[in-house]
Amino acid sequence: KNQVEQSPQSLIILEGKNCTLQCNYTVSPFSNLRWYKQDTGRGPVSLTIMTFSENTKSNGRYTATLDADTKQSSLHITASQLSDSASYICVVSANTDKLIFGTGTRLQVFP
């Protein structure tokens, strides 16, 4: 069964600190993996996409990694800001164009 699992479910950190969010998937065949950020009361917005051949990709203070062998991805946030408070959703695409969504990690950044 195609599944995407994220950990932790929720995370609280202090402003300026770094954090790492995890995503494990059992999706086959694999096409790509995308991280979305969803602010409270808003729709998800794409942060980055990883294809099979990519190991790491950065978007400002966000760095995503992908290990296709172990079927794991991580999203690392550097020097967190209050505006990083949101839910982060890992989404894996199978070759059939179907998206499999994780349940998200809720991040809260406090001053």
Partner 1 sequence: DVKVTQSSRYLVKRTGEKVFLECVQDMDHENMFWYRQDPGLGLRLIYFSYDVKMKEKGDIPEGYSVSREKKERFSLILESASTNQTSMYLCASKPGRWGNQPQHFGDGTRLSIL
Amino acid at 23: C
The residues of the shown chain that bind partner 1, judged by CB under 8 A, are 32, 34, 41-46, 49, 51, 89, 97-99, 101-104
CB of 100 to partner 1, least distance (A): 9
- Closer CB to partner 1, 89 or 109, in the complex: 89
| Radius of gyration (C-alpha) of the chain in whole angstroms | 13
CB of 12 to partner 1, least distance (A): 18
- Closer CB to partner 1, 29 or 41, in the complex: 41
Taking the alpha carbons at both ends of the chain, their separation in whole angstroms is 41
- Closer CB to partner 1, 61 or 98, in the complex: 98
CB of 97 to partner 1, least distance (A): 6
Exposure string of 22-45, with b = 16+ CB inside 10 Å and e = fewer, is ebbbebeebebbbbbbeeeeeebe
CB of 74 to partner 1, least distance (A): 18
- Closer CB to partner 1, 12 or 79, in the complex: 12
Burial of 20 (0-12, 13-18, 19+ CB in 10 A): exposed
